[in-house]
Amino acid sequence: MRLAGKTAIVTGGASGFGAGIVRKFLAEGARVMIADINGDAAAQMADDMGDAAVAQTVDVANGDSVQAMADAALAAFGHLDILVNNAGVCHQPGPLEDVAEDEFDRTLIVNAKSVYLTARALVPHMKSRKAGTILNVASTAGVSPRPNLNWYNASKGWMITATKTMAIELAPSGVRVNAINPVAGETPLLKTFMGEDTPEMRAKFLSTIPLGRFSQPEDMGNAACFLCSDEANMITGVAMEVDGGRCI
Ligand SMILES: NC(=O)c1ccc[n+]([C@@H]2O[C@H](COP(=O)([O-])OP(=O)(O)OC[C@H]3O[C@@H](n4cnc5c(N)ncnc54)[C@H](O)[C@@H]3O)[C@@H](O)[C@H]2O)c1
């Protein structure tokens, strides 16, 4: 019960890595808001998980929607200890000059601007309590980019810099900010990264991961739990690879 008594919001919590983080947080004793643009999936998951889980429909790209999520979390829990900025999207892979402008905008607004919007809504609360931790789900793409995912890679690089600059500014307020950098993982988003889900493409991706497997939602749950728990009280501003050695 490493998160006993803690409360958390996990954006994009209804699928993939976010769902893995939600399951781990609940198993470790936290109360968790599953906040997702797919409200039906969030509600279904909360139903399945019991009383410690609540669902919230949110578009992390929209300031009013993010504020409503923050208000709902504080109404449900009374206070917030942990914010996980996990919701993310990727444009279709392709030459950088061919990515459509609306896909570029969507990628940047969901992956980058959302971090500003959630901070605007929840950092004042964390500062007032002189406590709290924020975890940004970035990517190995922000450290060791692959071709044809240019603007997605850049959005994750932005997220890693945001993590470090938030950490330095919020440290005197007792708020820690970290990131995890997952490698390609078994989630619905994987097909978008690979372009096509074929045995050949899977083998190509796997050949770059020294531990020889794709990451799993459970891997992100375990890393997130550590970084958001009191065991990591001396850790802020890191962007930790959860990547089977890919970035070595
Ligand atoms: N899967 C990978 O290979 C991989 C690798 C590195 C990093 N990541 C990152 O991990 C995070 C989770 O990705 P995933 O693979 O679990 O994807 P996923 O598609 O399985 O889940 C993403 C979730 O975010 C939700 N979402 C999308 N846009 C939203 C919005 N505007 N507001 C609220 N919720 C929204 C979706 O409904 C979905 O439930 C993303 O930030 C992604 O960039 C994924």
Residue 246 DSSP SS3: coil
The tokens describing 232, both together, are 């990591």
Residue spans of the domains in the chain: they are 7-241
Instruction: Please give the number of the atom of ligand 1 that sits closest to the Cα of 110.
Output: 31
For ligand 1, mutation pick of 60, 92, 189 (most atoms within 8 Å of CB): 189
Which residues are paired to 175 by β-bridges? 132
Residue nearest to atom 42 of ligand 1 (CA): 88
CA distances from 154 to 194, 201, 209 (A): 17, 23, 21
Q: Which pLDDT score, from 0 to 100, does residue 40 have?
A: 98
The structure tokens 């330095």 sit at 168
pLDDT in tens, the chain (248 residues): 999 999 999 999 999 999 999 999 999 999 999 999 999 999 999 999 999 999 999 999 999 999 999 999 999 999 999 999 999 999 999 999 999 999 999 999 999 999 999 999 999 999 999 999 999 999 999 999 999 999 999 999 999 999 999 999 999 999 999 999 999 999 999 999 998 999 999 999 999 999 999 999 999 999 999 999 999 999 999 999 999 999 99
Instruction: Please give the number of the atom of ligand 1 that sits closest to the Cα of 193.
Output: 3
CA of 50 relative to ligand 1 center, distance in Å: 23
Indicate whether residue 30 lines ligand 1 (CB < 6 A).
no
Which residue among the candidates 25, 77, 152, 193 is catalytic per the annotation? Answer: 152
Task: Write down the CATH number for the domain with range 7-241.
Answer: 3.40.50.720
Q: Which pLDDT score, from 0 to 100, does residue 246 have?
A: 98
For ligand 1, mutation pick of 187, 192, 201 (most atoms within 8 Å of CB): 187
CA of 87 relative to ligand 1 center, distance in Å: 5
Indicate whether residue 136 lines ligand 1 (CB < 6 A).
no
Active site residue 152: yes
Element (H, E) at 67: helix 63-77
Residue 30 DSSP SS3: coil
CB 132 within 8 A of CB 81: yes
Q: Which pLDDT score, from 0 to 100, does residue 33 have?
A: 99
For residue 130, is it left (φ>0), alpha (ψ between -120 and 50) or beta? Answer: left
Indicate whether residue 87 lines ligand 1 (CB < 6 A).
yes
Residue nearest to atom 32 of ligand 1 (CA): 59
Indicate whether residue 89 lines ligand 1 (CB < 6 A).
yes
C-alpha closest to that of 244 among 227, 218, 217, 219 = 219
Q: Which pLDDT score, from 0 to 100, does residue 215 have?
A: 98
Q: Which pLDDT score, from 0 to 100, does residue 43 have?
A: 98
